[in-house]
Amino acid sequence: MRITINEEDLQGIISFLKKHNKNEYVSILESEFENNKSRDITNKQKSILEARKERTNKLKEKIENAMNLLRLENKEITAYSVSKVADISYNSARKYLDI
């Protein structure tokens, strides 16, 4: 069985166990809590981070290409024009546009 508790709750449980002389459980709880606290991120979390990074890179590349195209055509580079040329949302263009 798996439960999730915060450090404050853990300290309450530990003090209860110490009061009732159950020190063997105290050491088990403390070691488990430390192991889980220092645990690395899961594979799913890693995949999510990698996917977000890849999407961001593709978006930045689209914006850069759109800006280059607008420069070639001597058109004004705005978030709106970049969003239309790159076929991305206006908010994304505004977010990543480095003019």
For residue range 7-21, what is the model confidence (pLDDT) as tens digits?
A: 888 889 889 988 988
pLDDT at 39: 60
pLDDT at 5: 76
Dig out the tokens for 77 from the structure: 């580079």
**What is the C-alpha to C-alpha distance for residues 47 and 18, in angstroms, rounded to an integer?**
42
When the pLDDT of each residue in the chain is averaged and rounded to a whole number, the result is 87
pLDDT at 45: 83
The two counts, helices (H) then strands (E), for the chain are 5, 0
